[in-house]
């Protein structure tokens, strides 16, 4: 990707994290990216096109990041713990996820991006859970695909808490809650006291 284009998209993402999609103007993006409004318009027709491409690019980046998390770890317990911690540790990523799902709820064009992220979450978690089940480490209390959906629902909820900075929603607490939930659903020692 062209360096100016990347700077513009990165600037838009940073501004959205701080101010929200509704408050970000083309002038703000230009100032943050240290480019002229004309340069932005060279790449994008208008502010909405910047936001559209930024959300799509950020979604693809999140999918790539998620697929790499713990890819070098073989132990299913450790791998699942790392995935759960990664899902909710970065406030900026949580804010962008909420912004993306919010926009997708009103604009169908963003649904494929949201779907791509959910699919990446599902596949990676299902692979880890299935590997742990096959190794005898996990004893799922129900179908793996349903357990994956429950874990994703918990991740979504905790991401919202992180994004809006609810009192007490620390990375440590959130990771503990996710490990406890997964441990109960998988009858596996995922809590720190058991490990």
pLDDT tier at 156, thresholds 50, 70, 90: very high
Confidence of residue 191 (pLDDT cuts 50, 70, 90): low
Supply the pLDDT for residue 1. Answer: 63
User: Which pair of structure tokens corresponds to residue 93?
Assistant: 């990523």
Q: Which of 112, 131, 121 is nearest to 66 (CA)?
A: 121
101 with 87: CB under 8 angstroms?
no
Contact 62, 88 (CB under 8 A): no
The pLDDT mean for the chain works out to 91
Q: Which of 188, 178, 13 is nearest to 89 (CA)?
A: 178
**Sign of the CA dihedral with 111 first, then 182, 158, and 59 last:** negative
Q: What is the pLDDT of residues 56-111, one digit of tens each?
A: 898 888 889 989 999 999 999 999 999 999 999 899 989 999 988 988 999 898 89
Closest CA to 141 of 182, 175, 100, 82: 182
Residue 55, pLDDT > 80, answer: yes
pLDDT band at 194 (very low <50, low <70, confident <90, very high): very low
Taking a C-beta distance cutoff of 8 angstroms, is the pair 116, 100 a contact?
no
Query: Rounded to whole angstroms, how far apart are CA atoms 108 and 97?
Result: 16
Q: Please count the other Cβ atoms lying within 10 Å of the Cβ belonging to residue 152.
A: 15
Angle 111-134/47-68 helices, nearest 10 degrees?
Answer: 10
- Would you state the pLDDT for residue 192? 53
Closest by CA position to 52, among listed 21, 14, 84, 19: 21
Query: Are 90 and 35 in contact, with CB atoms under 8 Å apart?
Result: no
Q: What is the pLDDT of residue 44?
A: 94
The backbone torsions φ and ψ at residue 168, rounded to the nearest 5 degrees and listed phi first, read 90, -5
């Amino acid at each position: 990707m062209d360096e100016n284009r990347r700077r513009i998209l990165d600037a838009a993402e940073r501004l959205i994290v701080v101010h929200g999609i509704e408050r970000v103007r083309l002038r703000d993006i230009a100032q943050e990216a240290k480019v002229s409004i004309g340069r932005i318009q060279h790449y994008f027709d208008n502010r909405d096109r910047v936001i559209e491409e930024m959300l799509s690019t950020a979604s693809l980046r999140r999918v790539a990041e998620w697929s790499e998390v713990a890819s070098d770890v073989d132990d299913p317990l450790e791998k699942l713990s790392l995935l759960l911690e990664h899902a909710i540790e970065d406030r900026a990523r949580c804010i962008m996820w909420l912004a993306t799902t919010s926009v997708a709820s009103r604009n169908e064009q963003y649904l494929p991006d949201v779907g791509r992220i959910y699919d990446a979450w599902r596949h990676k978690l299902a692979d880890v859970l299935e590997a742990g089940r096959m190794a005898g480490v996990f004893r799922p209390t129900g179908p793996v695909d349903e357990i994956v959906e429950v874990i994703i629902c918990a991740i979504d909820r905790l991401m919202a808490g992180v994004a809006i900075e609810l009192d007490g929603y620390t990375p440590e607490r959130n990771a503990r809650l996710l490990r406890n939930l997964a441990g109960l659903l998988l009858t596996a020692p995922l809590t720190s006291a058991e490990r």
